[in-house]
Structure 1
Amino acid sequence: EFQAKVLDFGLICSPWLHIKGVRYHLESCKSQFPAEAEFIEEISTNLYMDDVCIQADSVADAEHKINLLFEIFQQAHFPLRKWGTANEEVAHSILRLSPLDKTSVTVGDEEAKFLGVQWHQPTDSLGVFTRKAVSELSSGTPSKRKLLKGLAQIYDPLGILTPVTVRAKTLFQSLWKLKIDWDDPLPTEIIESYRNFVTMLRQSTDIRIERALSARFSTARFELHSFCDASLEAYGAAIYLRTVDKGFAQARLVVAKARVAPTKQKWSIHRYELMGALMAARITSNIREYLKLKVAKEYFWIDNMACVSWIHSPPEKWRPFVANRVREITKLTDPSAWRYIRSEENPADILSRGTDIANPQSRYRWLSGPMWLSDPTWKPPPNQIDIEETAEERKATPSQCLHTVRYDENDVIDDLLNPARFSSWFKLIRAQAFCNRLKAFAQSIKSRQRRSHSSSETRSLQLDTAECTQAEKDLVRRIQKRYFREEISQRCEDLPKSSGLAQFHPFIDSDGLMRCRSQSAGDWGGVAATLQKLRERFFILKARKVAYDALRHCPGCKRFNANPATEPTPALPTFRVEITPPFLFTGVDFAGPIYYKKENGRKAKSYILLFTCAVSRAIHLELTMDLSTYEVLRALSP
C-alpha cells in the first residue's frame, strides 16, 4: 500500500482538500491557544488558498501575531516564506522572528500584489495594474480582438477604474452592433473613441484608494453612502464609507460596479435608473455582511425622482418589471433611506457616462464623493418625496362591479355554522342548539314577552336532550332544504323520474323533515359499517363516497390503519467488508438430492456441498454420497 504525502497538482479536489486541511488545523489550534481563538478565527476567515491577510493596531501587536502565525503554521509543516508589509519595523520583526533560513519580505514595493490587486506599499493603497493593457492597446492596428485582449489585462474587482473601463465596454458593444469581425480595421468614427480610451487608461495609472478603512479611527462614526446612476449606455453604483471622528470627516470609495445597457431590450431611462438602484442595494447588502465595522447609518442617493417615488410606493401599484425590482430593493434596504440628489453632485454620474477621471475635480468627486461628505457638520436634509407619476409603469386598474346580494336567514346560518369548522357531528349539533337558544332569547326580548327563568336555568350552559334533538332536526331540515329545494317545494308529491329521490318514495313528516320508506343495511366493517350506522336514521345520496372521504381524512382512522414501523437495515458485519483471504469466513450448505444411476441400473441419491466465501462471494462445490458427518469431513480433506 502507498500513501500520498502531497496533493496532486491539477486535480479538481486538490484546492478543496488544501483549504479544508488548513482550516481543520486552525480549528484544532483553538484548544491549544484558547486566548487567541478570535485571532485564529480571523486567520481562517481571511485565508484564500496560500495567501492570508492579517491586520494589527501597533507594532507590538503585529509582532505578537507574527510569532503566533509562525508557530501555528509550523506545527502543520506549512512554512511561511513570503511576507508583505507597508511598515519597515514590522518587516524587520518578521525577519527576526522567522524560524526559517530564508524568508522573503517585501516592503516599500510600488507594484506589490495581493490576490492580483496592485498594492502600493509606500502609501499603503490599492490600485490597478494598467501597464500591460496600455502596451497591448497601443501596439499594432486597433481591432476588436486587440480591444478585448486589452480589457482582459485589467483586473479591477474593486471597480477603482470603472469610469474608464465602462467606456471600453460600451465601445466593445458598439463593435458588435456594427458586426465588425475580430481582425477587421476599426471604422474612422470608432478609432477616435478607441484612442481616447487608451489615453484615459494611461493617465489613470496613479489612481488608488486607501487600503485601511479604519486604521486611524477608534471611536469614529461610520456611514455608508451608496450612489447610483444610469444613462442610455450604462448603469452602475458606487459605495462610499464616511468616517466622522472628533470634528473630522472623511469619505472614501469602497467599491464600484457598472454594466453596459442591454442591446436586446430598449428600456426607458427610468428603468435603467431602477437597475442602477437595484445594483446599489445588492452591493450594499454584501458590504454590510462582510464589513467588520459598526455602520451607524446607510443612505442611498439617486438623481431620478421617478425611481425614488417607486421605492417609496407599494410594489403592487406598478407593472411586473418595476414591481419585482422595487420589491427586492425594499427587502434589502430601508425605503426611507432612499433620497434624491442632483446630477452635478452624484459621483455615480461619472461612472455611467464614462467621464475622464484624469481631471482633478472629477477625480476628487470619484474617489471621495460629494464635497458635503467631508463636512463634519453635515446633516441629512429632510426626505421630501415629490411623487413623480410614470403612467407607462403604473399597473392598469381593473374595472370593478358592485353586486347586491340578498341573504336570507338560512344563508346567514350556513355561514355561521359551516360544517368544515367542526370536527364532529355532535359539536355541530351543540352549536346549532346554542344558536336556537340565542334566537329564542332575542325573539322574546323583541316581542317584550320575556318569560321568567329561574336563576339556575339562566346561568346553566348545559343543553338538555330536547334542545339537542331539536337542533339535530333543524340541521337536517336546513341541509335538505339546501340540496332538495324542488322536492320540498312540491311536498314530495308527483316527483319526476329525473329526481334522485323518486325511487325512494319520500314524504314530509310532521316535523317538516323529508323521510324515505326504504332503508339499506350492511353488516361489515369500514365504509359499509359506517353506512349502516348512518342509515339507521338518515338516508344520504351518494353516501358511500362521502363516507369513504370522511374515513380517509379521519385522524383516528389514520392512526389505526397506519403501517407498522420498520427497522432500518443493519450494517453489514465486519467480516463481510474487511479485506481477508478467500474462504476465511465461509458459509456451508447442502443442495439436493441429485439422483443418479448405479452400475446395476438402480437409482441412488447424492448431494452437493456448497462452500461460500462471505467476503468475495466465491463458491466451491463438493459431491457427497449422503448428509453424514463422514462425508462432510471427507469433503473438507485436501
Structure 2
Amino acid sequence: MRVHIFGAASSPGCANYGLKHLATEHKDLYPVGSQFIMKDFYVDDGITSTDGSDKAIQLAEEARRLCALGGLRLHKFVSNDRAVLESIPSSERVADIKDLDLTFDNIPSERALGIQWHIKSDCLKFNINLKDQPATRRGILSTVASLYDPLGFVAPFLLIGKGVLQEICRHGTGWDDPLTNELRPRWERWKKDLINPERINIPRSYAPTGFGKVTKRELHHFSDASTTGYGQCSYLRLRNEWGDSHCALIMAKSRVAPTKVTTIPRLELTAAVISVKTINVLKKELGCADIEEYFWTDSKVILGYINNEARRFHTFVAHHIQKIHLNTTQEQWRYVPTKKEKEKTKRRWRHIQYLVEQFWSRWRKEYLSNIALRQRWHTPKRNLQLGDIVMMKDEGLPRNEWRLARVVQATKNRDGLEHHITKMIIARCHERAKHQGKGMTINVIRTKGYWIPGIGRAVASHLRQCVICRKFRRHTEEQKMADLPPERVNPSPPFTYCGMDCFGPFYSKQGRSVRKRYGLLFTCFSSRAIHIEMLEDLSTDSLIIGLRCFIAIRGTVRQIKSDQGSNFLGAKNELKEALKEVD
C-alpha cells in the first residue's frame, strides 16, 4: 500500500513509521542525516542546530539523499547561515528565498513549529493575528487557545487569560452568554495587552555569540504557587573555560489553581512535581545525560516534606513526595527566600526590637522596682473567720459581677471529717444542679451564700458516692460478639458447609447482541475456599443448573446458607417438592 487516506486515524502513524524506518535502515550509510530524522522531526517538519556551517551542510546533504532512497523529497530548507543556503539547490529552499540574492536584509521570517523565527536576528518571536471574537465563553476560549506557546515563554501572561476563562466556567456561564460586568474589565485589559508578546525577542541559541567552549552545564528549576495558579520555569546555566556564566530560559509551565479549594502548600507541592516531570524531557532534548540539576522553592513546608522520611503523610502528599523521591535526591532541593519573605522577616525583627526597647524597658523601670515594696503580694494565708468579706465565684458571670458575702458561720473539723451539715448542703445543691458535675454544684453552693473550706475535695467525694452520677457517667457498654457457629470452627471437608450468593451483571457479546451474565459464588465455611459458576440469568432454573454443576465438581454438600433472594427461595421450594416426590 503506497497511499494512505488523508484524514484517517492510521495515516499519520503509518507515515511517521515509514520515515523512522527509512532512517533506521540507512543509519550506517548516512549517520548524521539518520540522527536528524530520528530525533529532530515532528510529523513532517524538522528543526535542529549545529556547531558550524560545515556540519550543517553535511546534515542537509545526507538528509536529502537518505529521503531520496525511499522516494521522498525533502525540501523547503531555510537557515540563518548564508553558506548553508548556498549549498542547497534553489528548488529545495523555501519558496520566499528562491528568487532572493541571499542578503540577510531581504531574508524574511519563517514559522518554526508555530513560533515566528526571525532569520536575520536569529530570534524567536510571536506573531499574533486574532480574529474579532465576541466576549463570550466560546470566544474567550478561542482567543486564549490561539496563542501558541509550547515552551512557555509567555506563560505568566497566558495564565491571566486562563484565569478569566476559569472564572467564567465557575459561574456556570453558557457558551454564548455575554461576559459578566465583573469579568469584562479584566478580559478587556488582557486582550489589549495581546500586542505586547509580539515585542518579545527570544534568542534561539542558549549561548551568546563568542561565549566560547562550554565546560559545565547546570539546570535550575524554580517552582512557585499562589491561590490563583502555580507553575515552574527551567533555566540552563552555562559556564565557559574562562569562568564566565550565562543563563537562558529553557521552558516554563503555568496552570490555574483547581476550582476546588486547595491549600497553598499542596499547590506548591504540585508545582514541584511539575518541575520534576520536566527532567527527562529536558535531558532527552538537550542530549546531556550527566547535566547537574538543582530545584528551588520558596516553601519551607515542601522542603520539610521532602526531607522527612519517617512521618506518614496524607495520600495526596505521599503520592507527590514519592514522585519527587524517585527522580531527585534531597541534596538537589534548595530554598530561595522571596522578597515578601524578606519583608516579613524585617517587620518581625522591627516588632521584636520595639518590644525590647519600649515595652520591656518601661516594665523594668516602673514595675519591677516597686514589686518588692508591695507587702500585699506577700500576705500569708489564714483560715476564714466570722465577719470576713469573701467574693462568691460564679463561672457564669464575669469577674466584675461576682457578689460579695460576709462569713456568718464557720465550722471547724478537728477530726479531719466533714460535718453532717456540710454533706447535707452539698447534697441539696447537687440535686438543684441536676447532677451536672462538680463545677455546677460548687456554683450553686456559692450562689446560696455558703463558704465551705476544701469545697472542691468535698464535692468530688460526694459525686463519687452519688448513685445517679455514677449511672450517668459509667462507661458505655460494648457489643459482645456471639460465638461462631460450629461449622466455622470445626474442621470439615471442603464445601461441606458453604454460603452462596449471586453477583453481577457482566456484559458479553453474542453475535451482535449484548447479553447479561451473572456469577454464582460459593464459599466454604471451614477453609474459606471459593467456587464460581456462571448463570445465564437470575431465574430459579439457572440457579439450579449452577448448583448442579457445583455439586458435580465439589461433591455433596451438607448445608448451604444464603439470603432471601427470590431465586434462592424458588430453588429451595423446588428441591423440597423433588424430595417429597422421592419419598
Q: TM-score normalized by structure 1?
A: 0.49
Paired residue secondary structure (1:70) = helix
Counterpart for residue 17 of structure 2: 20
Question: Following the alignment from structure 2 to structure 1, what is the Cα–Cα distance between the partners of residues 124 and 174?
Answer: 36
Report if aligned partners of 2:305, 2:321 keep a CA contact under 8 Å in 1.
Answer: yes
C-alpha distance after superposition, 1:138-157 (max 9, x if no partner): x4652222211101211111
Partner of 1:248: 244
Match of 1:55 in 2: 49
1:152 aligns with 2:149: no
Mapping 1:173-184, distance limit 5 Å: 173-184=166-177
Structure 1 CA distance for aligned equivalents of residues 87 and 163 of structure 2: 49
| Residues 24 and 53 of structure 1, relative CA distance in 2, 3 Å threshold | same
In structure 1, the residue matched to 2:163 is: 170
1:306 aligns to 2:301 (yes or no): yes
Equivalent residue for 1:9, pick from 3, 6, 9 = 6
Q: 1:338 to 1:235 in 2, by over 3 A?
A: same
Q: Are residues 78 and 214 of structure 1, via their aligned partners in 2, closer, same or farther at CA, if it must alter by over 3 Å?
A: farther
1:377-388 superposed matches below 5 A: none
1:395-431 Cα offsets, whole Å, 9 max, x none, are xxxxxxxxxxxxxxxxxxxxxxxxxxxxxxxxxxxxx
Over the residues paired in the alignment, what is the CA RMSD in angstroms?
A: 3.1
In the alignment, what sits opposite 2:26? 29
Cα offset for 1:103?
8.6
The structure 2 residue matched to 1:339, chosen from 310, 334, 338, is 334
Measure the CA separation in 1 of the matches of 2:175 and 2:20. Answer: 46
Could you list the per-position Cα deviations for residues 284-320 of structure 1 after superposition, in whole angstroms to 9, with x for gaps in the alignment? 2321233213554211111111111111111743222
Tell me, yes or no, if the aligned pair for 1:126 and 1:210 is still in contact at 8 Å.
yes
The one-character-per-residue Cα deviations of 1:458-506 (angstroms, maximum 9, x if unpaired) are xxxxxxxxxxxxxxxxxxxxxxxxxxxxxxxxxxxxxxxxxx9xxxxxx
**Kept in 2: contact 1:233–1:260 (CA 8 A):** yes
Identity of matched residues, %: 26
Contact 2:117 2:123 in 1 (8 A): yes
- Taking the aligned partners of 2:325 and 2:230, their CA distance within structure 1 comes to 20
Which residue of the partner structure matches residue 257 of structure 1? 253
SS state of the match for residue 60, structure 1? helix
Equivalent residues in 2 for 1:44-443, closer than 5 Å: 44-95=38-89, 111-132=109-130, 136=131, 139=132, 141-213=134-206, 217-245=212-240, 246-264=242-260, 266-293=261-288, 295-314=290-309, 316-344=311-339
Partners of 2:294 and 2:234 in 1: CA distance: 10
Cα offsets for 1:223-265 (capped at 9, x unmatched): 101000000110111111111112321111111111111113x
Aligned to 1:244, what secondary structure does the other structure show? Answer: strand
Q: Distance in 2 between matches of 1:247 and 1:203?
A: 36
Please tell me whether the aligned partners of residues 83 and 104 of structure 1 are also in contact (alpha carbons under 8 angstroms): no
Distance in 1, matches of 2:226 and 2:70, equals 54
Q: CA separation in 1, counterparts of 2:325 and 2:163?
A: 30
Structure 1 range deviating more: 163-172 or 12-21? 12-21
Give the match's secondary structure for 1:293. coil
Q: Give, in whole Å, the separation in 1 of the partners of 2:168 and 2:91.
A: 56
Q: Is the 8 A contact 1:43 1:52 kept in 2?
A: yes
1:97 deviates by 9.7
How far apart, CA to CA, are the structure 1 residues paired with 2:40 and 2:268? Answer: 35
CA distance in 1: counterparts of 2:133 and 2:301, whole angstroms: 47
What are structure 1's unaligned runs of at least 5 residues?
347-499, 501-544, 547-638
CA distance in 2, matches of 1:43, 1:110: 25
- Cα distance, 1:91 vs structure 2: 1.5
Deviations 1:123-147 (A, max 9, x none): 2223333232xxx3xx465222221
Contact 1:229–1:237 (8 Å) recurs in 2: yes
Contact 2:151 2:251 in 1 (8 A): yes
Q: Which residue of 1 aligns with 2:563?
A: none
Give the ranges of 4+ consecutive aligned residues of structure 1 lying more than 6 Å apart after TM superposition: 99-103
Q: Please give the alpha-carbon distance, in whole angstroms, between the structure 2 residues aligned to 1:94 and 1:277.
A: 46
Cα 1:63–1:203, aligned 2, differ >3 Å: closer, same or farther? same
Q: Give the Cα separation in 1 of the matches to 2:310 and 2:255.
A: 25
Q: Which runs of no fewer than 5 residues in structure 2 stay unpaired?
A: 342-489, 491-525, 528-583
Shift of 1:96: 6.5
Q: How many equivalent pairs are there?
A: 337
Q: Is the Cα contact below 8 Å between 2:133 and 2:140 reproduced in 1?
A: no
C-alpha change, 1:283 and 1:339, in structure 2 (3 Å) is: same
Q: C-alpha deviations, 1:202-227, integer Å up to 9, x for none?
A: 11212242223358553331110100
The structure showing larger relative contact order (alpha-carbon pairs under 8 Å, at least 6 residues apart) is 1
TM alignment of 1:557-636, pairs within 5 A: none
